[in-house]
Amino acid sequence: MHQTFDAALEINLLHANQQGADHNRSHFDEWGITCLNVMSSPGAGKTALLERTLAELNHELRMAVIEGDMTTELDADRLRQYNVPVIAINTGRSCHLDARMVAGGIHQFAHQYNPSDFDLVFVENVGNLVCPAKFEVGEHAKVALLSVTEGEDKPLKYPVMFQEADCLLITKLDLAPYLDVKLDRIVENVRQMNSHVTIIPVSAKTGEGLSQWFDWIRSSLSHYTMQNLPISASMSLGG
């Protein structure tokens, strides 16, 4: 005879992913690394932005990239030219990185390098304005990109991404004069749902706005890095 029971779970649907993300973050904290999750639609300029960032901050910060891509290593190869560790992760059919995939990347990174030597890890997420916003990977802050060519209405259409962002870079600013796009309108649309986000218009091509972006990185480093945390000897990779 069978009896019917009820179990109240009351837990987040993404609980398992969240646990993985927390685990990843604890590694970064232990190593004194700040992790930034860089997200946008395909073609908004994440890789170009990282190229400029790696090139110009290389003498100041020790950086690495965990590079998510559905199929190729094209972006990873672009970033490898800057002499920083780039760990490529192919997501296959998945349209975002999740905590488990990034854990694999962290494992590789820790195997090949001494992570305590690093200050900053960028996770370049798969190009997508929807899913990456919901799957935490262990980042300390979320950086969203929106290029001027995508139009003013994208924050309204994809609100979750813009609501979750800690920093929003409005990219390809050099193209703005050729388009019927109003930056004020983009900012206004984002502010409707996120009054705290730092908004920085930039052009990776001309360099406009990049110094503000670098300042934001510096401030996030001092904000999130917990160098003085006791190192837990029992902490293990994977999991």
Partner 1 sequence: MHETDMTKALILTVKDWWESQPDRPTISHVYLTVGQFTCVEPASLQFSFEVQTRQTFLDGAKLVIQETPLIAFCHHCQQEYHPEIGIHYACPTCQSPMDDIRSGRELKIDRLEYTSQPPIPLP
d(CA 133, CA 215): 24
68 close to 124: Cβ distance less than 8 angstroms: yes
194 close to 187: Cβ distance less than 8 angstroms: no
Nearer to partner 1 by Cβ, of 24 and 225: the residue is 24
Nearer to partner 1 by Cβ, of 230 and 238: the residue is 238
Give the Å distances, CA to CA, from 162 to 39, 97, 145, 188, 189: 10, 18, 9, 12, 9
Single-letter code of the amino acid located at 219: S
Q: Which of 69, 75, 98, 150: binder of partner 1 (CB under 8 A)?
A: 98
Residue 159 in the binding site for partner 1 (CB under 8 A): yes
Residue 219 in the binding site for partner 1 (CB under 8 A): no
Residue 235 in the binding site for partner 1 (CB under 8 A): no
Nearer to partner 1 by Cβ, of 31 and 162: the residue is 162
User: What does the DSSP 8-state code read for residue 96?
Assistant: S
Q: Which of 110, 193, 198, 209: binder of partner 1 (CB under 8 A)?
A: 193
Residue 12 in the binding site for partner 1 (CB under 8 A): yes
106 close to 123: Cβ distance less than 8 angstroms: no
Residue numbers at the binding site for partner 1 (CB under 8 A): 1-17, 94-96, 98, 130-131, 133-135, 156-157, 159-160, 163, 191-195
